Amino acid sequence: MTQQNQSVTVPATMRAAVYRGINDVRVETIPVPEIGPGEVLVKIHTCGICGTDLKKIHSGSHDAPRVFGHEMSGTIVRIGEGVTDFAVGDRVMAYHHIPCGECYYCRKQTFAQCEVYKKVGCTAGFAPSGGGFAEYIRVMDWIVQHGLIKIPDDIPFEQAAFIEPVNTCYKAIRLLNLQPDETVLVIGQGSIGILLAALARQTGATVLTSDLYPERHAVAARFGLHHPLDARGDVVAAAKAATEGRGADVALLAVGGNSLIKVAMDAIRPGGRVQLFAQTQHGEAPFDPAAVCMDEKTLMGSYSASVAIQDDVTRMVFDGYRNGFDLTQLISHRFSLEDAVAGIDLASHPQADSLKIVIQPGE
């Protein structure tokens, strides 16, 4: 393994998009992180920009400096002592959160509430924060053991970078326990909204999609989503018209904005479910308590990934690429690391033609 480590030249410094404060990200030269026993160093190929990255950048929820980015794939260039399941040259993706598997929350399969899960196990330096907006990341030992996934040679890095977001979406869909005779309204057709809708469709349910932009509905149609609703119109009336006046069985909020919670609640039938997927900012939101009590409507949430479905998601993403579930179609813009700030700015101000935006530090 020492010989393998010597076969790849790794520089002492690298470029990274460093968070320096609220709305302040700068491309800088920083040290390549050192690795310890049980760890690996990964050269990043592709890292998607996630809404949670943007929230941290714009809200100041985390102290600076940091390097964000967690939807990442790349190649192992160094391995630490004791690593036997991976080698230099392996193509991999890394989850940045993995739970302990033993605590109360893990026993209840509420993994995102596990204290170990809340620790970040990948870093480009500074406080661990994912690190995918950099040339290299250090992957810590518990992630190497349980959250580092080998990528087959026939699967592009871009497809593999979707494994973590697909996991979060698939977890949400499984929680809903959808039935083939149900109708699902997905509000928001960014890349995550399209993923949620496509996965909901795989259950056999009828899926209605709502968005402001026809361009996004056109991309959604490539994933078999053919019931678009114009978000500028009366979405509640449209959902009822599509369901014999009842309302959708499920409304899934794939876009932030607490004002949409009322729309979602109004759009579902008595006994239906509303799932919040994008509401990650603390605050207060009004809703009608009688709709929950007397109309028996359920308001629920889903957050982050589940280790319990990790193998299923890996197969879904890899086999899907081979069989028409090509997630690279969701990538609208690719930015070099030097242009990462422009990529973050575009992701922060979505346009009609912008979906998943990725930063690609290297081929």
Work out the average pLDDT over 101-110.
97
Provide the pLDDT for residue 1: 40
> Cα torsion for 173, 178, 182, 187, to the nearest 10°?
-10
Q: Is 199 helix (H, G, I), strand (E, B) or coil?
A: helix
Work out the average pLDDT over 231-249.
98
User: Hey, what are 65's tokens?
Assistant: 């400096």
Residue whose pair of structure tokens reads 């929680």 in the numeric block: 175
Beta carbons of 116 and 100 less than 8 angstroms apart = yes
Specify the amino acid at residue 51: G
Work out the average pLDDT over 134-150.
98
Provide the pLDDT for residue 257: 86
Specify the amino acid at residue 304: S
Provide the pLDDT for residue 178: 98
**158: pLDDT strictly greater than 80:** yes
Provide the pLDDT for residue 3: 40
Provide the pLDDT for residue 26: 98
Question: 134, 136, 103: which is closest to 118 by C-alpha?
Answer: 103
Instruction: Please provide the average confidence, as pLDDT, over all residues in the chain.
Output: 96
Specify the amino acid at residue 282: H
**166: pLDDT strictly greater than 80:** yes
Beta carbons of 57 and 35 less than 8 angstroms apart = no
pTM (2 decimals)? 0.96
Provide the pLDDT for residue 4: 47
**Separation of first and last alpha carbons in the chain:** 24
Work out the average pLDDT over 48-53.
96
**53: pLDDT strictly greater than 80:** yes
Q: Within 10 A of 46 (CB to CB), how many other CB atoms are there?
A: 26
170-173 long-range contacts, CB within 8 A, separation 24+: 170/199, 170/309, 170/312, 170/313, 170/316, 171/302, 171/304, 171/305, 171/306, 171/309, 172/196, 172/252, 172/275, 172/277, 172/302, 173/199, 173/200, 173/203
**Beta bridge mates, 250:** 184, 273
Provide the pLDDT for residue 7: 66
Provide the pLDDT for residue 198: 98
pLDDT tens digits along 290-334: 999 999 999 999 999 999 999 999 999 999 999 999 999 999 999
User: Hey, what are 37's tokens?
Assistant: 């026993």
pLDDT tens digits along 195-217: 999 999 999 999 999 999 999 99
pLDDT tens digits along 55-97: 999 999 999 999 999 999 999 999 999 999 999 999 999 999 9
Angle at CA of residue 271, ends 267 and 272, nearest 5°: 40
**37: pLDDT strictly greater than 60:** yes
Provide the pLDDT for residue 255: 95
User: CA-CA distance, 325 to 170, in Å (whole number)?
Assistant: 14
Provide the pLDDT for residue 2: 42
